Amino acid sequence: VKILQDEFNSFRNNSEPYPMSYEERKNQTVFCEFANELITSVITSTTADRDDFASLFQITLPNANKDTSVTNIQKLKISQLKKEALESKFISLFDRGIKGYTDYRLGGLSFQRWFDEKNVEILKSFLREISVTNEEDKLMRNLLDFISENIKGISINFLSVWLHYLKPQFFPILNKQ
């Protein structure tokens, strides 16, 4: 515990050797609220399809382009009122330098090839269940059930980011760093 406390204090007081400072990471957590609303809007839409998920990938990247993200928000199959609210929130965050957490990009073409409508429905159903569940045991059962589906192209690294956006109190971001 002492090592962890020392490491955290080092991170908080001096960004070396960390690529982002404590304040940058702290400010970035605001993106979670936006991403939660964005993902929830898509997973609760009855007409959302793989193009909507491709848009979500692009919007939540840390190097997302403002104009492309706004275009992607407008492409989502959700109400116009919701699109406008999300666009306004995204622009406000973007203009303050607040973007997605982790670069978990998937190639657009391979995404289109393997992510069929069946997989869209499995992912939507899983994420909907996660979004409304607050019991740790049930969250873990849902996660294990989803992983057993073995959907090609969905890595734990990718999945951990969206799970974190939906339930940051339960799911850490897992990546190679």
- Looking at residue 80, its pLDDT comes to 97
Instruction: For residues 86 and 74, give the distance between their C-alpha atoms in angstroms, rounded to a whole number.
Output: 9
Query: Alpha helix (H) ranges present in the chain?
Result: 2-13, 22-28, 30-43, 50-59, 66-75, 80-95, 108-114, 117-132, 136-148, 156-166
Are 169 and 140 in contact by the 8 Å Cβ rule? The answer is no
Q: Both tokens of residue 72?
A: 């992607």
Look up residue 20 and give its two tokens.
Answer: 């982002």
- DSSP-derived 3-state class of residue 132: helix
14 vs 139, which has greater pLDDT?
139
pTM for this entry:
0.81
Q: Give the pLDDT band of residue 104 (cuts 50, 70, 90).
A: low
Percent of the chain at pLDDT exceeding 70: 80
Q: Residue 126 above 90 pLDDT?
A: yes
Task: Report the greatest alpha carbon distance in the chain.
Answer: 51
